[in-house]
Structure 1
């Protein structure tokens, strides 16, 4: 929608009834892009409202989440069509305020997930080392840590060589601050006081945070505009087109990962019951009701039948219900695996981030024919740089929180 080719095709489909243009003639489909993202976001908000309070697949509304794909696609397409009838003034407010705030929430959510993944990976390796006493897991933990630090250092050197020339103050500051922050967090993670309050903290988590934040910084300097000749990747036509395509792919993959990972996890917002299997199992997905609970339920039904408070066929119907649930592979008949409403709210936040990322003004000189650059603005570059700094801050707080608030943490 941000390219002249797409705008001409869209105007042709609408028989030239709607002209997609700005008064200055510079935005080339900004409103069309905003309308499509708004329609998808509205679609997820509607589903979030319809599915609010669904706690198991026994609720008839659960079918809206797990089925009715044809009608849902038709509703989404209808919302896209109707969005083109909304005045442009609405999208100026929506894009500049609502989408921007929602996009910031999505970025913060992604950073929290990254820090959680870093701790989860290191703790999983330590548990495997303790339980299996295998040297292989030690090699995996130490090797991955050294590998991530090596990759971080390599990317830092590459950035200094190619993106930190004379006059490139922004790049020099971003690269240097990132280097200092990942060195600082590494030292904090092995600090004796931190280790005393959280023995599971270590260099493995710091290495994962370092490589991710270094990647963010490298992505920021490699996708900035080249008006100061600080980005050699966009000077030649070949690398110019390649950087546009790679930037789009990396952006969409990152958004897809963050969205699906966040949406299918409760993050303290999902169902409140304890639905996990014992720790010895390979995963935390519920496939059936625990045997002990089923036995207690069956015993309670038998006693109720003997006392006359329930009819005799209650035992038969309960057994048929459990057999049918097991036969159809329904592992949400007792409790959903994730909160359906939160699932769609997070997808709404993702659409807001995409709209904000694409909606930031792109210089016409950056337009590469029918390719619309994604994230090649100083705004997008600074968002990535500051996101890396926030990620370091979040990770450092997870290290210092047990020291500052020892009563709220128990690692015994």
Structure 2
């Protein structure tokens, strides 16, 4: 969802090193992404990380530490030798998304309605609609791109690709293009539907805020704020970073080519 869409532009820049304007834009976007993530971390410490909120502090600190560890890994000499097109651009996008997931996690922490210590969104007049809308927009775009791309790239049941499609000759001796999917389609039906089904289910859970609610001591129910939603989101942020790190390390430890 993050590395593949960002990898394409980086690949083009790698092949067109004379395009200085593109390099400037890429550096600026990457720097803004890292700077924005740092500002977000500072704000999370101010709004959610008071001395009494140890769990919130742990979430913020661990998320930032993982980002700091994954970023230099993307430009390590060994990684660059195996994956020349990897770089800080992908690391910046992963950092931004992971930081967003941590912020969404902290907003989901259940607290009493009049307790603003560990969750400032409980203050009257405070709305989380903006961060929810951003999350939905980003996730919808990424899911649409990645689900369709993954389905097309799926190899289960796909026909073998060939460099040239031979032409066939009819009874009159006229040549016509051959059907390159005569023995099998160039994509996998099952993989296509599995990926889209999982994408649809994930988006539904995101829109319903994981369909969770928790009853507080005063018998009030808080929708979308429960420890279930908290752990789903925070674990997702860790998995994102670990998968990204593995995508960089895998070509070094496995005897195969990654595309």
TM (norm. structure 2) is: 0.78
Q: Find the aligned partners of 1:189 and 1:173 in 2 and give their Cα distance.
A: 25
Q: Find the aligned partners of 1:180 and 1:275 in 2 and give their Cα distance.
A: 45
Return closer, same or farther for 1:342/1:398 CA change in 2, 3 Å cut-off: closer
Check if 1:403 corresponds to 2:257: no
Q: Find the aligned partners of 2:20 and 2:189 in 1 and give their Cα distance.
A: 41
Q: Which residue of 1 aligns with 2:49?
A: 164
Q: Secondary structure at the match of 1:207?
A: helix
Return closer, same or farther for 1:385/1:399 CA change in 2, 3 Å cut-off: same
How far does the alpha carbon of each residue in 1:51-75 deviate from its partner, in whole angstroms, 9 at most, with x for none?
Answer: xxxxxxxxxxxxxxxxxxxxxxxxx
Q: Which residue of 2 aligns with 1:233?
A: 121
Return closer, same or farther for 1:399/1:341 CA change in 2, 3 Å cut-off: closer
Return closer, same or farther for 1:177/1:366 CA change in 2, 3 Å cut-off: same
How far does the alpha carbon of each residue in 1:56-105 deviate from its partner, in whole angstroms, 9 at most, with x for none?
Answer: xxxxxxxxxxxxxxxxxxxxxxxxxxxxxxxxxxxxxxxxxxxxxxxxxx
Return closer, same or farther for 1:339/1:358 CA change in 2, 3 Å cut-off: same
Q: Which residue of 1 aligns with 2:8?
A: 120
Q: Which residue of 2 aligns with 1:343?
A: 192
Q: Find the aligned partners of 2:221 and 2:238 in 1 and give their Cα distance.
A: 28
Which stretches in structure 1 are left out of the alignment for 5+ residues?
1-112, 277-291, 323-331, 368-372
Give structure 1 regions of 4+ aligned residues with deviation exceeding 6 angstroms. Answer: 332-337
Q: Which residue of 2 aligns with 1:203?
A: 88
Q: Secondary structure at the match of 2:31?
A: helix
Cα shift at 1:399:
1.6
Cα shift at 1:235:
1.8
How many residue pairs get matched?
Answer: 246
State the structure with bigger RCO (CA 8 A, min sep 6), 1 or 2.
1
Q: Is the CA contact (8 Å cut-off) linking 1:128 and 1:137 kept in structure 2? A: no
Cα shift at 1:180:
1.0
Check if 1:263 corresponds to 2:143: no
Q: Find the aligned partners of 1:175 and 1:404 in 2 and give their Cα distance.
A: 31
Cα shift at 1:258:
4.2
Cα shift at 1:247:
5.5
Q: Which residue of 2 aligns with 1:360?
A: 212
Which stretches in structure 2 are left out of the alignment for 5+ residues?
none
Return closer, same or farther for 1:400/1:137 CA change in 2, 3 Å cut-off: same
Return closer, same or farther for 1:248/1:204 CA change in 2, 3 Å cut-off: closer
Q: Which residue of 2 aligns with 1:33?
A: none
Cα shift at 1:148:
1.0
Q: Which residue of 1 aligns with 2:77?
A: 192
User: Match for 1:392 among 230, 241, 246?
Assistant: 241
Kindly indicate which of the two structures has a greater share of residues assigned to strand: 2
Q: Find the aligned partners of 1:215 and 1:118 in 2 and give their Cα distance.
A: 17
Q: Secondary structure at the match of 2:133?
A: helix
CA RMSD of aligned residues (A): 3.4
Which has more radius of gyration? 1
Q: Find the aligned partners of 2:247 and 2:184 in 1 and give their Cα distance.
A: 31
Q: Find the aligned partners of 1:337 and 1:248 in 2 and give their Cα distance.
A: 37
Q: Is the CA contact (8 Å cut-off) linking 1:197 and 1:403 kept in structure 2? A: yes
Cα shift at 1:226:
2.8
Return closer, same or farther for 1:151/1:333 CA change in 2, 3 Å cut-off: farther
Q: Which residue of 1 aligns with 2:27?
A: 142
Cα shift at 1:337:
7.3
